[in-house]
Amino acid sequence: MTCLRPPIVVAAALVAAWVLLAGSALAGQDPATDPHGATRRVTLSIVGTTDLHGRVFPNGGRGGLALLGGYLRNLRAARQADGGAMLLLDAGDTFEGGTASNISEGALVVDAYNALGYDALAIGNHEFDYGAVDNAAGKSATPAGDRTPDMRGALKAAAARARFPFLAANLIDAATGRPVEWPNVRPSTIVDTAGLRVGIVGVMTRYGLTRTLAANVQGLDTTALEPAVESEARRLRRRGADLVVMLAHAGGACFRFDDPTDLSSCDDDAEIFQLARRLPPGLVDAIVAGHTHRAVAHEVAGIPIVQAYSRGSAFARVDLTVERGAGVVSARLFPPQAVCAAVAPDGWSCANGGDTPATYEGTPVRPDQSIVVAMQPALDRVNRWRAEPLGVTLETPLPRNPDGIESPLGNLFADALLAAAPGADLAIGMGGRRAGLRRDLPAGALTRGPLYDVFAFDNRIVELAMTGAQVRQALARELTRELARSLRGIPSVSGIRVRVACDGDRRELEIVRPSGTPIGPDETLVVATTDFFARRAARDAVAVPPAAVQASAPLVREAVADWVGTRGGRLGAADLVTPPRWETPERGACFPADR
């Protein structure tokens, strides 16, 4: 990725433009002005970001919302000088990912986006990940009483906090069959700028709701993108929009940006390309895309499409020249612009350090400190929450899995799951791979922050009825999968022990109670586990609790914090692995000795 790249120019309606120029010249009139001398042509710079995933701070001289603000300040100044305008859009998956953003449930990012001057945001699939409101402001995940919490509560709170609309034209309330109606969430919007009325319609990838927690999206559906965009774009035109921009949490992938009409380096079957080809010509003037974490700066079916990677590393840009009363005359596409604090001696690449700041629009880029100031109140709340003590001191670090199998930290989580489900016979926790336990716990007085860093996900605890055979089969499947990797994902258990033996090349698993009493294959057991594991266990014909039940279940990390706080005192790694819960052979054809 580079910092400074020349723009790519795409001419649109060249013949019409030539006729307009010729006619104006014959009349002795400047085609760029009306009879009264007012500017008729306006440059609209559309800037698109996407898939920030809560990465608000710089990393190694790249990214960070304050630095992005410096680039935007330079571009706004350029447009102000020539009478044009800048439109700032985000294509979704904006909040989930960065620790500070996660703990504030997106409030930190919304405050920064308000200060940056965003005009609209498309709702992405990961906007639903937070579920109910349970953030560092101290609000509970479960309202008083037995009422099921609003599993879109955190998303609605973020939308209400924003000074720009959240767009979702194809996100449907399944009960009504209509687009959702939440405060500051709508199918489209119109922005008035530089004398233009710019219509913006937002959509989400067709199957986006399958890529978040099922309990958080019950009662919602997505429709096909094409009819939603076409219907909303026509409505915007009827409302007087001079041009229409599609903001889509759906994208593509290209790897060369020297010629916007050359799609040979692109995924030609990408969802956003197929959508562009199906839209009526002239209905949509530009597309800002996202979701795939790739980049696009290309013209497809006459529509310029831009998309710029993820996690704040770059932004996309297309400049539209708009003729008042006539629409878009031309489009100028730019390669993805890396957000660099400094440039390398070659003048193009981002530098890890140095005193040569990046330049944009002919002016050095300086971080916009007003963005830092805007984020500070939410960041202060996050830091106070992270510093809250949990009432226990760790005498030793608690690692995820020091020897590839037995995990003190995993066992702690499994014990907490079992304690949170008093009617359960056993618990199956998680391992240390992606979507599992992310870090070790350091020694010392334990606070909320490090525990959150271990497991930042909003998974909930559910109970399953499983036979002994189904439990054994589920654990055998997990063991087989992880032996093919690095054994970082072996789920920890509580309330049982697992014995692994080799019979030639085959692995034999036996599950017994802590006392050593065998568990019969037909014996019915109540298993406490995560909603994520429950979906995987469903492959063995286990009945997964309905989404309504999952929605009211406790959060995993809150159950762990409660268990640690109740236990109190001092705790060490040896307390959690003695006696061992996984008994494995030292060597054998079915179990490599170097594991």
* 438 and 479 co-located in one domain: yes
Residue 7 in domain: no
Looking at residue 136, its pLDDT comes to 60
Residue 389 has pLDDT above 80, yes or no: yes
Residue 190 in domain: yes
Mean pLDDT for the stretch of residues 132-140: 62
Percent of the chain surpassing pLDDT 90: 72
Nearest alpha-carbon partner for 91 in 257, 255, 305, 368:
305
* 275 and 405 co-located in one domain: no
Give the other-Cβ count within 10 Å of 291's Cβ. Answer: 28
* 205 and 353 co-located in one domain: yes
* 349 and 437 co-located in one domain: no
- Out of 347, 382, 417, pick the residue that ends a domain: 382
Q: Compute the mean pLDDT over every residue in the chain, rounded to the nearest whole number.
A: 88
Residue 227 has pLDDT above 90, yes or no: yes
* 263 and 234 co-located in one domain: yes
- Out of 347, 367, 382, pick the residue that ends a domain: 382
* 358 and 420 co-located in one domain: no
State the residue range of the domain holding 245. 46-130+150-382
* 320 and 194 co-located in one domain: yes
Residue 339 in domain: yes
Looking at residue 129, its pLDDT comes to 94
Domain CATH for 265? 3.60.21.10
- Out of 382, 410, 440, pick the residue that ends a domain: 382
Residue 158 in domain: yes
Number of domains in the chain: 2
* 378 and 526 co-located in one domain: no
* 254 and 337 co-located in one domain: yes
For the full predicted model, state whether its pTM sits above 0.75.
Answer: yes
Question: Where does the pLDDT of residue 510 fall: very low under 50, low under 70, confident under 90, or very high at 90 and above?
Answer: very high
Any idea what the Cα angle at residue 43 is, between residues 38 and 47, rounded to 5°?
150
d(CA 93, CA 286): 20
* 297 and 363 co-located in one domain: yes
Residue 490 in domain: yes
Looking at residue 18, its pLDDT comes to 35
**Residue 146: DSSP 8-state:** S
Min mean pLDDT across 53-62, 157-166, 410-419, 486-495 is at 486-495
Domain CATH for 397? 3.90.780.10
Q: Are strands 493-494 and 444-447 parallel, antiparallel or unpaired?
A: unpaired
* 372 and 480 co-located in one domain: no
Mean pLDDT for the stretch of residues 248-258: 97
Residue 316 in domain: yes
Residue 34 has pLDDT above 80, yes or no: no
Mean pLDDT for the stretch of residues 36-54: 88
Mean pLDDT for the stretch of residues 47-55: 98
Percent of the chain surpassing pLDDT 70: 86
Residue 445 in domain: yes
Give per-residue pLDDT as tens, 262-293.
999 999 999 999 999 999 999 999 999 999 99
Any idea what the Cα angle at residue 306 is, between residues 302 and 307, rounded to 5°?
145
Looking at residue 434, its pLDDT comes to 61
* 413 and 343 co-located in one domain: no
Residue 305 in domain: yes
Q: Is-contact 116 49, C-beta < 8 A?
A: no
Give per-residue pLDDT as tens, 93-105.
999 999 999 999 9
Give per-residue pLDDT as tens, 419-438.
999 999 999 998 766 668 98
Give per-residue pLDDT as tens, 349-388.
788 776 688 999 999 999 999 999 999 999 999 999 999 9
Q: Is-contact 274 218, C-beta < 8 A?
A: no
